[in-house]
Structure 1
Amino acid sequence: MARLYIFAIGGTGSRVLKSLTMLLASGVKPNSDKNFEIVPIIIDPHKSNEDLKRTERLLGNYQTISNEVGLDSGFFSTKITTLDRLTTSQNRLSGSFTFNLQEVGGRKFSEYIGFNQLDEPNKALADILFSGKSINKRHEEVNLLDVEMDIGFVGNPNIGSIVLNQVKDSQEFKDFASNYNEDDRVFIISSIFGGTGAAGFPTILKNIRDAMNNRNIDGKGFLQDAKIGAITALPYFNIEKDNDSPIQKSDFIAKTKAALYYYKDNVTGNNSINSLYYIADNYSGKPYKNDPGDNGQKNDAHFVEMASALAIIDFLETPDRDLETSEGKALKPIYKEFGIRKDASDIKFSDLEDYTERKIALRLSQFALFRKYLTEHLSSAVENEAWSNDSPEINKKFVDNTFYRTNLTEFLNSFTDWLKEMAENKRGFSPFNIDSSIDALIKDRIGKYGLVFKSKVDYGEFNNQLSKTSKKSKSLDRSSAEKRLIGLFYETTESILEDSYGLKN
């Protein structure tokens, strides 16, 4: 199986990765003749970042669920794994999805570069290069050399580029390089208007293209000639004004222009990237809390992040012939943007372009229907419905086990939060009536027979369909209750939504 290594940089990287995980859980897959295993590598010096921690927890639950039910059950059918699972190196990694940046926690930038050990000419040079001002986590104005890096690079990519250059010498990068094969691909997620992402993208890209420790018997560099895609997020959200914060919305455009100017020579101008996706949104909605990092940085999910995750799906659908690379240079670089059919402030499936709607509407609706049934009705169904008694039984003991009570329930709760956060954001994405009756779950959709179910509060028809699938399905894996549950609901929700709503993949 080919692998896609995803370098998710900074807070935006974690949030886009979260959206990708939700899409993969729902059964969204690239239209490709290859199956890809996903290997996320999160790079963020801000270890207390709540966005990072939420994504790590989500990935861990996904991995546990997918390992339990296999890759043929519809939901959770794309394998996600940590880098350490791929290596036999004696220097084992942590088993985490997060890259371990060394010598960052609790240190000032001046300590990281050994400023006090420099001779006077080099001290003078460092003073010139890092002569700007910033605000530390105690909201005090400090020189850039005195920035404390454990909350990230607070909008200073010149600092980030120095620190993140350590990636190439790390055990993680060596294991990534030694495991990279010719059919594998790389994708980099970053924002362009902050510090960590703006610095991390060109730094990681350069380190991959310059890699020399991944050669085949003919001396060709699999990694140097890797098929590399990236999404660079331009400004897409608003933040509260806070004069004591180093993060100011008024700086976003200036930083974006500066980064794009640098990318023109060092990313796009030298053909380092095979496929680069741009995304932005100038919709000025509810501002996020201005949190440079010391309070945990927990941003609501945003439609732009889900659209960015779709760039990864699109990249995997791109044929190999369009991603050819020679001596570290893309022969036919591709540049793409994302658009919607209607400039709506509250996006529904019908506002998306046809291909995007077909790609996600059925699968996300299936998963939303699955979540709704399990959240509202499964505890009753395991005692009263015939389909739950088929072998292997889905009973009260199953509902109380760790797989259902912890891993699956936590994931479904995160899915609910993700949908609600996107719906309440501006620009919003709200294709579902989350708290409605089942028949009204999908907005702007009327079943061909009117209401899909006999009653707005009656799960009877759903249970009838579950019983039919349970009795007649030849593809349903019945080797465990976990596999039967996931496969049963995937097949049944697909049938209901295709027959009654006309949703197709």
Structure 2
Amino acid sequence: MSVYVIAIGGTGTKIVEAVCHLAAAGIYTQGEPIPKIEILFVDPDKGNGNLKEADGAIATYQNCTKNIDQGINPTLNWWMQTKLEFLGLWTPFQKADEFRLRDVFKYDDYNGNKEVIRHLFDVLYTEKERDVLLKDGFLGRPAIGSAIMTQLRQNVATNESWKELIGKIDSDLKTEANNPPQVFLCGSIFGGTGASGFPTLGRLIAKELDNPETGNLLRKVKLGGLLMLPYFRFPSKEDKEAVFARSEEFILKTEAALRYYGTQDLKFDTIYLLGMPTMTNVEKFSKGGSDQRNDPHVLELYAGLALRDFIFTPKPNERQVILLSRNKDNEISWDDVPDKDEVRRKLTNAVRFAYIWLSRIVPGLEHAKTKLGEVDFALKFYDRESIKKSGEWDRINAIKVWCEAYLKWLGILHANGIGLRWFNVTAFYNQGNLIIDRSNFPDLVDKGLDREINIRIRDLSKKDLQGIDNGTTGLAKALYKVLSEKSI
């Protein structure tokens, strides 16, 4: 079963980063079939720092999952099993030298009897809006973004990215008729790219799928969307005339967008809206490019959980709007999580795995390279030759990189002042740095509630492992298995 996630703008890329971490913990698996999540980024800002962070999260996940071959056993077939495929980045600018609104619409060509078109353009856009370079995105201007995005609707027949997407959906329907594909768009409602791209791309996909020439695929495909309401703000720039995003305008833009969506038939089966009563402060302003790197936010995690709900909820007969609220104003606890028991178990087991891998497994294997006989758990999965092989150490380090990324991501989510209370992050995170001290392991969830690391390590076994059961792959699967079967 394929799930196509179309991540629009900077907020869309931050959601994908969260999706990668949730996929690793098995949030998107419930037995068979295991979904394949195929990700397409839509952003005119190719150098966006958030985009690079999401690219890195995908690469880290893929590099780690290729070492976990066939799950663990039939009852624990979720960890690191969701397939993530990167479909690439699509930019609405078709030509490399057309990064201004006036260039895209050939403003300077309207002379003589066509000059009235230029006058109309002058009414709709200021001179600075016409001339500003848009290679860093639409700068919080949906009116600019919508104009650019409409070009895609006119050129869809020749656009390779969209032809490929529709072709893949058509192919999925033919090969997996019992598990039809799903399409999920996500982005912000308050920025430039997300606010302009969401309705335009949603309509475009619906139109293509509802085309009689393609077999009216929309009846079979589940189409969902997620819009993020304003959840962060940044310092205002002194230049009031320059063209860039202004967080003080977010609420006004959101109200206008919601009124617009309320009057439109967007063809979505399900729409999710996520927001916070108080916006988080972003200290550094960036109009785009590599400097635009926002810290992870808990609302992006909830966006990932919304994707989970979308995947596992059958296609409704009527469009649905999903609502969720938290119990306390200043705290987010496990009681505020949909399907709390399963989500908590999977995220917690992934935290325990990451912590043990970093604090006990990697140091133990380093020691075992020269003194294998002194490391009991290593003897179960390696011999004196295999423990030294570069291929094994590539796998060890690939898992290590994911463990560090996962714990740091959770640490930032807990540290940004929103009131997340899922883990005792002081046991592994402090002011941007990981703390890896094996004595802290019993305190990861609730202080003193878990067992000591050495007790967990002692229970490692190859029994009931699917596929490869030795080396680093076998060790990793055995560790996750013992943590899952003996969860608190």
TM-score range, shorter chain: 0.7 to 0.9
Gaps of 5+ in 2: 73-77, 174-179, 369-373, 428-439
2:194 is matched with 197
Aligned residue identity for 1:263: Y
Higher deviation after alignment, 33-42 or 184-193: 33-42
For residues 79-228 of structure 1, what are the structure 2 equivalents within 5 Å?
79-83=83-87, 97-101=88-92, 102-103=94-95, 107-118=99-110, 119-131=114-126, 143-167=128-152, 168=156, 169-180=158-169, 181-182=172-173, 183-211=180-208, 220-223=215-218, 226-228=221-223
Deviation per CA, 1:426-472, whole angstroms, max 9, x where unpaired? Answer: 314352234520000114x663xxx522xxxxx32122122xx33xx
In structure 1, distance between residues paired with 2:291 and 2:189? 21
Confirm or deny that 1:464 pairs with 2:461.
no
CA pair 71-77 structure 1, distance change in 2 beyond 3 A: farther
* Cα distance, 1:236 vs structure 2: 1.2
Residue aligned with 1:154, SS: coil
2:407 is matched with 416
Aligned residue identity for 2:22: L
CA pair 369-103 structure 1, distance change in 2 beyond 3 A: same
* Cα distance, 1:391 vs structure 2: 3.9
Higher deviation after alignment, 226-235 or 166-175: 166-175
1:18 is matched with 17
Check the 8 A contact 1:4/1:38 in 2, yes or no. yes
Confirm or deny that 1:481 pairs with 2:465.
no
Gaps of 5+ in 1: 84-96, 132-141, 323-330, 454-458
CA pair 117-8 structure 1, distance change in 2 beyond 3 A: same
Aligned residue identity for 2:104: Y
Check the 8 A contact 1:51/1:299 in 2, yes or no. yes
CA pair 485-45 structure 1, distance change in 2 beyond 3 A: farther
Check the 8 A contact 2:459/2:482 in 1, yes or no. yes
1:352 is matched with 336
CA pair 389-399 structure 1, distance change in 2 beyond 3 A: farther
Residue aligned with 2:89, SS: coil
Aligned residue identity for 1:422: L
* Cα distance, 1:103 vs structure 2: 2.6
1:363 is matched with 346
414, 439, 443: which is aligned to 1:440?
Answer: 443
In structure 2, distance between residues paired with 1:129 and 1:474? 67
CA pair 358-104 structure 1, distance change in 2 beyond 3 A: farther
* Cα distance, 1:280 vs structure 2: 0.4
1:402 is matched with 394
CA pair 399-67 structure 1, distance change in 2 beyond 3 A: closer
300, 304, 319: which is aligned to 1:333?
Answer: 319
Aligned residue identity for 1:352: D
2:75 is matched with none
* Cα distance, 1:17 vs structure 2: 0.9
CA pair 57-284 structure 1, distance change in 2 beyond 3 A: closer
In structure 2, distance between residues paired with 1:152 and 1:284? 22
Q: CA RMSD in A?
A: 2.5
CA pair 33-460 structure 1, distance change in 2 beyond 3 A: closer
2:295 is matched with 300
2:482 is matched with 492
Check the 8 A contact 1:30/1:316 in 2, yes or no. no
TM-score (normalizing by structure 1)? 0.81
Identity %: 23
Aligned residue identity for 1:442: V
Check the 8 A contact 2:210/2:217 in 1, yes or no. no
1:282 is matched with 277
Deviation per CA, 1:371-402, whole angstroms, max 9, x where unpaired? Answer: 11122222332224322222455735468733
Aligned residue identity for 2:119: A
Check the 8 A contact 1:232/1:279 in 2, yes or no. yes
In structure 2, distance between residues paired with 1:289 and 1:421? 17
Residue aligned with 1:252, SS: helix
In structure 1, distance between residues paired with 2:11 and 2:389? 40
Aligned residue identity for 2:166: A
In structure 2, distance between residues paired with 1:37 and 1:166? 30
In structure 2, distance between residues paired with 1:488 and 1:32? 19
TM-score (normalizing by structure 2)? 0.84
For residues 381-400 of structure 1, what are the structure 2 equivalents within 5 Å?
381-382=364-365, 383=368, 384-392=374-382, 395-397=387-389
In structure 2, distance between residues paired with 1:193 and 1:33? 37
* Cα distance, 1:281 vs structure 2: 0.1
Residue aligned with 1:300, SS: coil
Check the 8 A contact 1:342/1:352 in 2, yes or no. no
CA pair 214-338 structure 1, distance change in 2 beyond 3 A: same
* Cα distance, 1:404 vs structure 2: 3.0
In structure 2, distance between residues paired with 1:440 and 1:147? 53
1:72 is matched with 71
Deviation per CA, 1:76-101, whole angstroms, max 9, x where unpaired? Answer: 11011133xxxxxxxxxxxxx32244
CA pair 65-493 structure 1, distance change in 2 beyond 3 A: same
